Structure formats: structure tokens, C-alpha cells
Amino acid sequence: MVKKNYLPGWIWKRPDGVLACGFGTGAARYAPGTWGTLPGVVFYYFMQNLSWPDYLLVTVLLFLFGVWICERTAKALGVHDHSGIVWDEIVGYLVTMTLAPAGWVWWLLGFGLFRLFDVWKPWPIRILDKQVSGGFGIMIDDVLAGIYAAICLQLIFMLNIL
């Protein structure tokens, strides 16, 4: 078992570890969840022009893949939801950006809203975070944070606040 805020060198020899830890962003000493969300922005860049059904399909597949790699990596580390595991942040950001308006302002706002809900963990996110284990437990709280952020993003757009 390793410390919750430390990633051992052997994790980078495992493809599931490299992916679950956000290509290294999860190793950030401070705010690994925030740094770990950045690869989600890169994924979004390449996914933004997909039709919404294709976007949703890719996001669901990345979620299912994330359940598997996060479970394997958490078991290898001996820590459930280790702070270095950030694949859930990547997928959570993609959930946030589902049907998002075009433009970099929306990318930044989506990033900020997702991080807000991921850190704040309003009901029922906090309950799920504490009570659901395994890879699904690691992933689901970030998906819900992404849904909350997506709703806020859409409301801001529909109310023409920006």
C-alpha cells in the first residue's frame, strides 16, 4: 500500500496506471485533480466536432474503460480513489462539455464549474463518493459533478448570461 498523495515509480510501467493517472498529471504535488482534468480538455478538443450521439458514445466508452483501469490501478496501489488517479476527472470534464456551446470561454467555464462541483461534492455526490467502492465508485462521483456542471453551463447559455 502506498501513501494517498504519492505515486510509486512502478506505476508508470503499467499502461493502466499511466492512463488512470492522466498521463502523469495525477502525479502533481498540488491539486492533482485540477491538473488531471487538463487531459480532458485535450480529449474535448478532438471530440468537440463529433455529433452529439457519437460524443455521448465515446464518453460512455471512456467511462466504462475508466471503471476498469481505475479499479486495477487502485488495487495495485492499495488505496481506493488515490489522489493520483485522475481518469475520472478526464471523463467528468467530458460529461460537463456534452452539448456545450462553441468557444474557449465555454471550455474555461466548463473547467471551472466541473472543478467546483468535483471539490464541493454537493448531494448526492458526497454520499456516493463515500459509499460506492471500486472503479465504479471512483468514476461515478465525477460523472455526477460533470452533470451538475453541464446543467449550469447550459443554464448560463440559455439565460444568455455570457
pLDDT average, residue stretch 105-113: 98
Q: Which amino acid is at 125?
A: I
Q: What is the mean pLDDT of residues 76-97?
A: 95
Q: How far is Cα 82 from Cα 7, in angstroms, rounded to an integer? A: 9
Average pLDDT on 80-88 reads: 94
What cell does 115 get? 472543478
Structure confidence by residue, pLDDT tens digits, 129-150: 889 999 999 999 999 999 999 9
Residue type, 152: C
Cell matching residue 35: 491538473
User: Hey, is 98 helix, strand or coil?
Assistant: coil
Residue 85 is classified by DSSP as -
Residue 93 CB coordination number (10 Å): 28
User: What's residue 3's pLDDT?
Assistant: 58
pLDDT tops 60 at residue 1:
no
Side-chain half-sphere of 130: how many Cα atoms within 13 Å? Answer: 6
Whether 153 has a pLDDT exceeding 60, the answer reads yes
pLDDT tens-digit readout, 94-103: 999 999 999 9
pTM of the model: 0.95
Q: What's the pLDDT tens digit per position in 2-54? A: 656 679 899 999 999 999 999 999 999 999 999 999 999 999 999 999 999 99
